[in-house]
Structure 1
Amino acid sequence: MLASSASAQLYRDPDAPVAKRAADIVSRMTLEEKAAQMQNAAPGIERLGIPPYDYWNEALHGVARSGEATVFPQAIGMAATFDRDLMHLEGRTVAVEGRAKYNQAQREKNYDRYYGLTFWSPNINIFRDPRWGRGQETLGEDPYLTGTLATEFIKGVQGDDPHYLEAVATPKHYAVHSGPEPLRHGFNVDPSPRDMSETYLPAFRRTITQGKAESLMCAYNAVGGTAACANSHLLQDILRDDWGFSGFVTSDCGAIDDILNGHHNATSMAQAAAMAVKAGTDTGCDFKDEMLSLPEAVKKGYIDESQMDRALERLFAARIRLGMFDPADRVPFSSIPISADHSPEHKALALRAARESIVLLKNDGALPLAAGAQKIAVVGPTATALIGLEGNYNGTPVGAVLPLDGIEQTFGKDRVSYAQGAPFTESVPVMVPRTAFPGGLTATFYNNADFSGDPVATRQVPAIDVNWAGIDPAPGVDPKTFSVRWSGRIAPPAAGDYEFELQTRRRCDVGNGSERYTIHIEGVPDQQVEMKCNKRDQTFEPMKVHFDDTTPRAFSVEFAHQSSRASDITFAWKAPLGALRAEAVETAKDADVVVAFVGLNAWLEGEEMQLEIPGFDGGDRTSIALPAAQRKLLDALEATGKPVVIVLQSGSAIALGDANMRAKAVLQAWYPGEQGGRAIADILSGKTNPSGRLPVTFYQSTDELPPFTDYAMKGRTYRYFDGKVEYPFGHGLSYTQFGYSGLKLTPSVKAGDPQTVSVTIRNDGKVAGDEVAQLYLSVPGRPATPIRSLKGYNRVHLAPGESRTVSFKLDPRDLAFADDKGVMRVTQSAYRLWVGGGQPDTGAPGVSGSFDVTGSIALPR
């Protein structure tokens, strides 16, 4: 029943209990209003003083998609830091910058998507198979590492105020979700109870019971035949009853539609929405107004209105705890100014994160590079690619440092030469490199879409590769309506056939705006293209050009934009592979050392994309080998006889094969965020001692792995795979050496009691560095348990000759392993333990020990 509007508005009383306030506000809504409030884009209700609110916001590695923000390394890179404190600080940065953006948006009455306080992060699905394109968004393949890092991130985001949440974190995608991307809307997963308890659920359990996450996102896939967002066993029996979750659940985007059209668990949208809400999904990320069918569901008896009320009370309890209905002076975060966004302190933190995330995989003495007269050839497609820093689900990285620029700043521009060498893959155009524009380009901006009047800004740029999402393209330029002309000269590396296009991959996103461009190359007919913002399936023929020679020619690109959102823009080509490779070889021959930047980007691996080319399928990978064009580049560079240092940039494992054997050093830099180029240069120069560790296994190939669609953990990840690998989970080298001694533990503990372990670590080298001590546990006599499992880690900084004792506390759940019914049990067994700089038997330093557990105990689910 609708409460009288004349009655006291209890929900406006900041001193009243949150639950009563939420119940009061919900009681005042009509049935139709209730349904509308259960969409991610909830409209305002003016008579109740409820402003519009969109629950959809992203903060995977910094606040995303709302303009300038601090861009940290992609999540997989953050996992490589093995640094709980850093993850907490990243969460704090998200909270502060999210509040700064929210406060500014409220002042401007901007209620758009990506300006709220409910962040759909972190992604804590287990990266069980290296072919999954979204694995880059996760914290790796290990449930303990994933859960502990995610818990600190969540605590940082939500804050520790006793009355208010600074923001809301949302671990996702619950549960058992890790590809394949092309199948995700109808895919059913039926894992064993052991795998559920041992691998797929522990990180979620930890983020709820210890991290106290206020929200959670349910997945696209079905589990045991029932869609995850309609699965009462997952959402009620486990999440709420067993783990005590009291927050709200949001669906993944379109997942309620999947209940009907993907999994066929329902016969109508009204029934699908009812099933979701009854199971425990409180709000839908709706593409087809799924939740608006709930009034029909009530009328048909699929759901009671009281069950909608329960969901709405959870949603409004969160908004109340965020302070959205309280006076600003009562909410401690309401005064955070927009100037707190991307502050100098946050930029410094992004640099620290990038430095800690980089993993030194191999070093035959080539690194650090000599500080003297070495000439450095920088080669490869990732060296100047902005997307190679960003990853996906990212903010706009204002002031980003590209790898080539970082190396030039560190070693001196006169010592560094550059050649692109290859595309990422020969099937997809790559950015036209700065070497093709002798003298650079002039960018001239106009505050209109027709290049009329006086320009408002000019800039000198080396190439055309920009991300202007949510920011002014240049000072004084209107991001909604502008035009820009890049002009200069273009010189191909060799005669031959070329194809050119302007890539605007985010396009103008929404609405009825448009973007158009004209490419002019002297002696060639212009190419003119117009793109409509509301058409997502537009395809355009590239501009095909034959160059008879390498003479520079007059060149320009004119780009006009009319839309509420700006684009990212890349001027790309398909150049003759032999010409690019030959240019790189000549560059290498004139150098003392070659630094080869190779890898992938988030336009090749990622979330459900329309891409089917050799090695890639819809965002996933069909091969983990480096794409052929880049393999041939490495072969040619190594054939010069010059020492080659490989820097990999990717969101997942890449198998280098023979190139790995021939390289003098290999770094894994992931998608390292806005300060990635500076961090890589710091590692190469020795200014920073590398300390990252692999959060995933680098297999030799996928030949020994089970099929991608098989969710059984047998034969997957370091915990169950017993074959040879290129680089193991936990691996990472340093420019110094560490030693371990003095292992102490209790020889025998009773089931249900904790075990305390300590060890002394010494820096035996000549330079300071961070060691990441890792504790692994195994139970050799207990059937079907993992080969070993990470159960502790500790990052410690040591000066040369310095020693420090570190301790680990293993609680009963750390000592428990699942039985065939999925019950976590501590049983009478002999446990083997290792503490070291990586896994045992991998060459990492460390010490081993053993202890006994007496008795047996079953732990709560």
Structure 2
Amino acid sequence: MRRFIKFWSILPICIMINSLVLYAQNGQYSPDYLNTTLTTEQRVDDLVSRMSLKEKLRQLFSAAPAIPRLQVPAYNYWNECLHGVARAGKATVFPQAIGLAASFDQEMIYKVGTAISDEGRAKHHHFVRNDVRSIYTGLTYWSPNINIFRDPRWGRGQETYGEDPFLTGLLATQFVKGLQGDDPDHLKAVATIKHFAVHSGPEFSRHSDNFYTNNIDLYNTYLPAFGTVVKDANVQSVMCAYNRFRDQPCCGSYYLLEEILRKQMGFTGYVVSDCGAISDFYKEGTHQVVDQPSQALGWSLSAGTDLNCEESKQFMEDHIEEAVAKGIISESDIDRSVKRLFTARFKLGLFDTEDQQKYAQNPHEVVGSKRHQQINLEASQNALVLMKNNGILPLDPSQKIALIGPNADNIDVLFGNYNGLPIAPSTPLIGLKKAFGENQISFSKGSALTADKYGHYDVVPAEVLFHKTKRGKLKAGLKATYFNPKKAEQSFTQVDRQINFTWEKTPLNQQIQEQFSVKWEGILIPQRSGQYRFGGNVETKIKGKKIHSIVDLKKGEQYEISISYQTKPAWYKNSICPQAEWTWVQTDFDYQKEAIAIAKKAEVIVFCGGISPRLEGEEGKEMDIDLEGFYKGDRTSIDLPQVQQQLFDELYQLNKPIIYVNFSGSAIAFTEINQKAEAVIQAFYPGERTGDALANLLLGKYQPQGRLPVTFYQNLDQMPAMNDYSMQERTYRYFSGKPLYRFGAGLDFSTTELSKLELPAKLTAGENLKGTFYVKNTGNEPLTKKYQVYFSSENAPDRSIKKLVQIVKVELKGKHTQEIAFEISTDNMGIYDADLQKKINEGKASIEIFDGKQQLVGQFEIVGSCAVSTMKPTR
């Protein structure tokens, strides 16, 4: 009894001590969800239990509002970092994903991912310290895109790691690990693999498309990379796709999101919809599988989509609380999704003080640092694929070079889509002038990219811009008036020499994010008569009329101009660090004549052609293109635009050696150029160090490592219809024709010899395959080489020709022969059949070793058959 009395006598003291522990630094009561000694699950459960139904519902949208009474800050989940922190001001711009894939290098991809998350962390905390919590400021990145690039016409294929599921899974795993960090309890960032699943164009019909694939293609092509990244990188987020799959919207597919993603693959994070995908459930002209927004939201939540990327207004106005009461939306589904979302935010440290966050101390100076730029240069060099070299490369640095082509000084091709603002962009013109010397390089734009699309708009120069004083005299520069649109009043005026601004802090109040507008007025006096097209992101008026098309301007004549700009946040552009740019191009100038003239005086021609991310990319406002060869972000032809082919043919008639450099996010069928050029380089979109990397390759300052992550076809006749999702005759694994260049192709400057591939004569099904081959480095210098290992089986369940199963990276000594051992797991050799058994079938099989040019092939026999694994049968 005494012990019982003593216990009750000290209980108030225990409660008081416990309560004191839970007080925050400001002296106010701190609930369990702010107690860092508790587990993440305990903290999340406590927070969600305190939220009202309406508060929970509003957290299910990408722009999640603050809950002041619970000390929950606003958070916007939408951020991008496909190849560098995007749309949030300056950041290191690495090669576009397809260029990163050309490296075939896991270690480099990890370094790139780590550098990006370093910069992302630094930028996020910089924004939070300045109370900026808008789109593109968070730590939840909707990258990488790991869809399979099955058709070169798909404009967003540039965002992927190419056409091979094994390579895609391998590289994406390292990218995700670099983003998310190596702390088992805390996340550096959240990576999101997308778009789940069976998604790779066409762009223009993605909101209504309904795709079917058989189980063999589904499990051997469209799903493996997702499974690899879930298993090997513990990725924390997955984005579901716009299209339907087997009649159900992907973001409402219980089969995809629950049975496959969570049960079969073991995914434990949250699922986010592609932006507007839930509205596609009911909007006219899209899937239209339900009538109301509340029905769409209820369906998506029940299927496993936790976060809706779009505005909450239309959903909240659709009697959503009533829909919960009627069971159209399940409150248990809401709770499940809200908990998944807050689990990520807690793991990111967003409810901890800054001193408690492991990654919060990254200084802002890490953005664009020398170390990151060095990694970027390495990545850019590895993105360049030397496809042909008749001995012209490396170039003699004393040679006179004619640098020609619409991409020779086109900053767009440095980036690809989903990009940030570069720290120090280097176009081919900039890079070659720096490396060879100003006097060695002559330059001409040569032609348009195609039709009236140009790659060489120039900022309207200060030399042609004036304003009049009160006395009517002309003075240099335009009169600029800066406005605060909220107050509808003038803030200040000044004279600007030209319109080419990037404001890291707004001009009104030096804030990081603030709405403003500018009006420039003055006189334009052209120095050359001609037809001009104006560009940039401003509105142009000449003599009071808006200019939408080509305008005739005369040399020396005065034109009254008014140029307007207003910050307009939009998902597809940089909304943190606004830019204003006024550009023009003269459309009737004879660029080809100029190119021929400079080429005649040169010893060698470097032709920078191809296309640009202004012609291929994501369907949307900036991709409303309908031209020969291009339609709304996709391509309808894989040929080089005719205007460039014509320019090349004219240059070829000069009998000067031509080095052709092709910029594109996808394969181009430049068959004729390939025959005539002395060297061919596929550049993809190689990042802000493009010019430096290209110059180093031309001069032979490094051994080219780039290899093609996609097949280059000879013509479109070799391809099935784009909306046919069967893998028959697609990618190197199933294509039976002769390509222009095969997957994995690429040259270097080394002299090595492959020999003596040794394999067992027989392999019992279920055993790993061990083999060796020999490489002789006949040169004096040590080398790093990557060897691709392919497996093929005459009884493959999917009838594939072969598949990549390993990449062996080797350090070779000079004047040395080295034995290289490899081992292929049964899992990598296994192939799914129609019954979803991953099998190895008995019969003849082979291994191919390929270094980009040379190949070795050896055969062996598989004895018996076995199932590596079995998936639950599907519908």
TM-score, normalised relative to structure 1: 0.89
From 596, 599, 611, the equivalent of 1:600 is 611
For 1:333-352, what aligned pairs fall within 5 Å after superposition?
333-352=359-378
- State the match for 2:583 in structure 1: 571
Report the more deviating stretch, 733-742 or 101-110: 733-742
Output the CA distance in 1 between the equivalents of 2:201 and 2:562: 40
Output the CA distance in 1 between the equivalents of 2:745 and 2:465: 41
Q: 1:235-256 CA deviation, whole Å, 9 max, x = no partner? A: 0001111111110000000000
Larger CA Rg, structure 1 vs 2: 2
Letter in 2 for 1:182: F
Is the 8 Å Cα contact of residues 797 and 831 (structure 2) preserved in structure 1? no
Is the 8 Å Cα contact of residues 396 and 470 (structure 1) preserved in structure 2? no
From 493, 502, 518, the equivalent of 1:468 is 502
- State the match for 1:278 in structure 2: 302
Confirm whether residue 295 of structure 1 aligns to residue 309 of structure 2. no
- Sort the Cα spacing of 1:687 and 1:432 in 2 relative to 1 into closer, same or farther, 3 A: same
- State the match for 2:834 in structure 1: 820
For 1:759-770, what aligned pairs fall within 5 Å after superposition?
759-765=773-779, 769-770=783-784
Post-superposition offset of 1:427? 3.0
Post-superposition offset of 1:329? 2.6
Letter in 1 for 2:862: D
For 1:696-775, what aligned pairs fall within 5 Å after superposition?
696-765=710-779, 769-775=783-789
Q: 1:680-721 CA deviation, whole Å, 9 max, x = no partner? A: 111111112222000001101111211111000001111111
Letter in 2 for 1:468: T
Output the CA distance in 1 between the equivalents of 2:401 and 2:779: 27
- State the match for 2:536 in structure 1: 503
What SS does the corresponding residue of 2:829 show, helix, strand or coil?
coil
What SS does the corresponding residue of 1:825 show, helix, strand or coil?
strand
Confirm whether residue 32 of structure 1 aligns to residue 77 of structure 2. no
Q: How many residues end up aligned between the 2 structures?
A: 813
Output the CA distance in 1 between the equivalents of 2:524 and 2:701: 37
Post-superposition offset of 1:83? 0.6
Is the 8 Å Cα contact of residues 753 and 812 (structure 1) preserved in structure 2? yes
Output the CA distance in 2 between the equivalents of 1:803 and 1:557: 70
Structure 2 residue runs without a partner (length 5+) = 1-22, 467-475, 484-489, 569-574
Post-superposition offset of 1:783? 5.3
Post-superposition offset of 1:482? 5.9
Is the 8 Å Cα contact of residues 429 and 572 (structure 1) preserved in structure 2? no
- State the match for 1:679 in structure 2: 693
From 101, 115, 123, the equivalent of 2:123 is 101
- State the match for 2:230 in structure 1: 208
What SS does the corresponding residue of 1:698 show, helix, strand or coil?
coil
Letter in 1 for 2:359: F
For 1:116-155, what aligned pairs fall within 5 Å after superposition?
116-155=138-177
Output the CA distance in 2 between the equivalents of 1:155 and 1:726: 35
Letter in 2 for 1:544: V
Letter in 2 for 1:563: T
Letter in 2 for 1:371: P
From 164, 167, 178, the equivalent of 1:156 is 178
What SS does the corresponding residue of 2:693 show, helix, strand or coil?
helix
Post-superposition offset of 1:204? 0.5
Post-superposition offset of 1:61? 0.3
Post-superposition offset of 1:37? 0.2
Output the CA distance in 2 between the equivalents of 1:433 and 1:769: 42
Letter in 2 for 1:148: L
- State the match for 2:343 in structure 1: 317
Post-superposition offset of 1:310? 0.6
From 841, 849, 859, the equivalent of 1:835 is 849
- Sort the Cα spacing of 1:100 and 1:452 in 2 relative to 1 into closer, same or farther, 3 A: closer
Is the 8 Å Cα contact of residues 139 and 695 (structure 1) preserved in structure 2? yes
Output the CA distance in 1 between the equivalents of 2:465 and 2:564: 21
- Sort the Cα spacing of 1:555 and 1:645 in 2 relative to 1 into closer, same or farther, 3 A: farther
Post-superposition offset of 1:498? 1.5
Is the 8 Å Cα contact of residues 91 and 368 (structure 2) preserved in structure 1? yes
Output the CA distance in 2 between the equivalents of 1:279 and 1:81: 38
From 239, 244, 266, the equivalent of 1:244 is 266
Confirm whether residue 623 of structure 1 aligns to residue 660 of structure 2. no
From 852, 860, 866, the equivalent of 1:856 is 866
- State the match for 1:511 in structure 2: none
- Sort the Cα spacing of 1:750 and 1:711 in 2 relative to 1 into closer, same or farther, 3 A: same
Post-superposition offset of 1:587? 1.2
- Sort the Cα spacing of 1:165 and 1:672 in 2 relative to 1 into closer, same or farther, 3 A: same
What SS does the corresponding residue of 1:672 show, helix, strand or coil?
coil
Is the 8 Å Cα contact of residues 91 and 157 (structure 1) preserved in structure 2? yes
- State the match for 2:12 in structure 1: none
What SS does the corresponding residue of 2:605 show, helix, strand or coil?
strand
Confirm whether residue 331 of structure 1 aligns to residue 357 of structure 2. yes
What SS does the corresponding residue of 2:661 show, helix, strand or coil?
strand
Is the 8 Å Cα contact of residues 216 and 249 (structure 1) preserved in structure 2? yes
Q: 1:101-136 CA deviation, whole Å, 9 max, x = no partner? A: 111111111111001000000000000000000000
- State the match for 1:541 in structure 2: 548
Q: 1:770-801 CA deviation, whole Å, 9 max, x = no partner? A: 42200001001345421010111133454542
- Sort the Cα spacing of 1:9 and 1:799 in 2 relative to 1 into closer, same or farther, 3 A: same
What SS does the corresponding residue of 2:707 show, helix, strand or coil?
coil
- Sort the Cα spacing of 1:568 and 1:824 in 2 relative to 1 into closer, same or farther, 3 A: farther
Output the CA distance in 2 between the equivalents of 1:369 and 1:552: 44
- State the match for 2:435 in structure 1: 410
What SS does the corresponding residue of 2:282 show, helix, strand or coil?
helix
Output the CA distance in 1 between the equivalents of 2:649 and 2:465: 30
Output the CA distance in 1 between the equivalents of 2:511 and 2:395: 42
Is the 8 Å Cα contact of residues 217 and 727 (structure 2) preserved in structure 1? yes
Output the CA distance in 2 between the equivalents of 1:444 and 1:546: 19
Is the 8 Å Cα contact of residues 765 and 862 (structure 2) preserved in structure 1? no
Output the CA distance in 2 between the equivalents of 1:680 and 1:443: 37
- State the match for 2:392 in structure 1: 366
What SS does the corresponding residue of 2:697 show, helix, strand or coil?
helix
What SS does the corresponding residue of 1:378 show, helix, strand or coil?
strand
What SS does the corresponding residue of 1:183 show, helix, strand or coil?
coil
- State the match for 2:426 in structure 1: 401
